[in-house]
């Protein structure tokens, strides 16, 4: 198992290098520059600004300096947030995005797994169709449509929650619900299909023949194996929750890392964009590694894959 984990970690090195190189090239090919929208300044001032940030160097020197700084975990200064390092912005704003992602993931699991399990246990019954129809709402309504609907109903009409902000505990409900419902639908489908496969196995029939109660058979014997597809989906789901938070944070005015990333892309804050992309890439790789570890625990045979 340790050898497999070491191999997975070593595989991330060329992946991160490719991501860093592609991001650097794309930002350099993008028309304009980080200071092109500023008020016109004298040429000598422009030269001093570019020299201060190293933008006057040859492109290959900028690239090597970029890689060297990133290897040491230094993302450089922000071009638009004067006096701030990219590392400082990430350290202050990412906990907000992480909190939102955790709440959304909990909502997706707590809604998706029970619905999928109950639908599988009521297979071919009308209640199965009703349960899966409810789960499909998350897929049919994208976040930029669902968010205004939730704000309209629960904020403007019922007045239960604030429509914007991140100051109070209730401000977490609508953003987390908007982000989590989409993935709850997929988790429900995966839970249903996994449970349908498991309950047909011989050891489930044996457990029932021994006289065990149905909830004991499902919770103790069937659910662990049935959730294997859900666990495998957690890696892509984590990546989707991270990227999906960009839209949610913008709609609900949440001071998370996603909103900084969107603003930096519009402002051509190259260091902020490249630093955020690499940070998210490392984060997603760590999530996938954690998913691999859980899969090995659930199914020890996968350690030899």
pLDDT for 38 = 54
CB burial of 17-56 (b: ≥16 within 10 Å; e: otherwise) equals eebbeebbeebeeeeebbbeeeeeeeeeebeebeeebebe
Q: Which CATH class is domain 89-304?
A: mainly alpha
Q: What is the full per-residue pLDDT of the chain (305 aa) written as tens digits? A: 667 667 777 777 888 888 888 888 887 777 666 666 555 666 666 667 667 666 667 778 878 888 887 787 778 788 777 778 888 888 888 888 888 888 888 888 888 888 888 887 777 777 777 777 777 776 777 777 888 888 888 888 888 888 888 888 888 888 888 888 888 888 888 888 878 777 777 767 777 777 777 667 777 767 777 777 787 777 777 777 776 677 788 888 888 887 787 777 777 777 888 888 888 888 877 777 777 777 676 665 555 55
Torsion angle of the four alpha carbons 111, 116, 119, 123, in this order, in degrees rounded to the nearest 10: 180
Which whole-number Å values give the CA distances from 94 to 23, 113, 187, 219, in the listed order? 20, 28, 25, 36
| Alpha carbon distance 62, 157 (integer Å) | 54
CB burial of 143-179 (b: ≥16 within 10 Å; e: otherwise) equals beebbeebbeebeeeeeebbbeebeeeebbbbbbbbb
pLDDT for 244 = 64
| Alpha carbon distance 66, 57 (integer Å) | 12
Using alpha carbons, select from 17, 1, 39 the residue that is nearest to residue 296.
Answer: 1
pLDDT for 298 = 60
Q: What sections of the chain are H helices per DSSP? A: 2-29, 43-52, 59-71, 86-121, 126-140, 143-150, 173-198, 202-209, 214-216, 223-226, 228-251, 257-267, 270-298
pLDDT digits (tens, 9 = 90+) for 7-20: 777 777 888 888 88
Asked if residues 241 and 101 have their Cβ atoms less than 8 Å apart, the reply is yes
Q: Name the token pair of 170.
A: 């209730």
| Alpha carbon distance 54, 67 (integer Å) | 14
User: What is the CA angle 233-239-241, rounded to 5?
Assistant: 95
pLDDT digits (tens, 9 = 90+) for 160-185: 888 888 888 888 888 888 888 888 88
Q: Name the token pair of 54.
A: 């190293």
- Specify the pTM: 0.74
Q: Name the token pair of 16.
A: 């991160």
Residue range(s) occupied by CATH 1.10.3720.10 in the chain: 89-304
pLDDT for 303 = 53
Residue 77's DSSP bridge partners are 85
Task: Report the chain's terminal Cα–Cα distance, integer Å.
Answer: 10
């Amino acid at each position: 198992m340790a050898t497999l984990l070491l191999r997975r970690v070593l595989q991330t090195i060329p992946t991160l290098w490719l991501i860093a190189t592609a991001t650097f090239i794309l930002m350099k090919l993008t028309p304009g520059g980080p200071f092109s929208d500023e008020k016109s300044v004298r040429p000598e001032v422009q030269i001093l600004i570019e020299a201060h940030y190293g933008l006057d160097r040859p492109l290959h020197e900028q690239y090597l300096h970029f890689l060297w700084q990133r290897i040491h975990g230094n993302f450089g200064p922000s071009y638009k947030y004067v006096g701030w390092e990219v590392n400082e912005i990430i350290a202050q704003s990412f906990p907000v995005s992480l909190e939102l992602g955790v709440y959304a993931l909990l909502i997706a699991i707590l809604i998706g797994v029970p619905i999928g399990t109950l639908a599988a246990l009521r297979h071919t019954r009308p209640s199965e169709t009703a349960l899966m129809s409810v789960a499909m709402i998350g897929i049919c309504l994208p976040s930029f449509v669902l968010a205004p609907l939730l704000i309209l109903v629960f904020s403007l009409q019922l007045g239960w929650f604030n429509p914007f902000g991140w100051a109070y505990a209730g401000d977490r409900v609508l953003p987390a619900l908007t982000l989590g419902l989409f993935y709850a639908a997929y988790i429900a489908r995966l839970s249903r299909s996994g449970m349908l496969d498991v309950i047909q196995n011989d050891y489930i029939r044996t457990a029932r023949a021994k006289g065990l109660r149905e909830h004991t058979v499902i919770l103790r014997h069937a659910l662990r194996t049935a959730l294997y597809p859900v666990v495998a989906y957690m890696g892509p789901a984590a990546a989707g929750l991270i990227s999906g938070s960009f839209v949610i944070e913008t709609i609900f005015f949440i001071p998370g890392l996603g909103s900084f990333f969107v603003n930096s892309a519009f402002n051509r804050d190259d260091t902020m964009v490249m630093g955020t992309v690499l940070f998210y890439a490392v984060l997603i790789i760590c999530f996938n590694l954690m998913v691999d570890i859980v899969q090995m625990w659930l199914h020890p045979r996968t350690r030899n894959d």
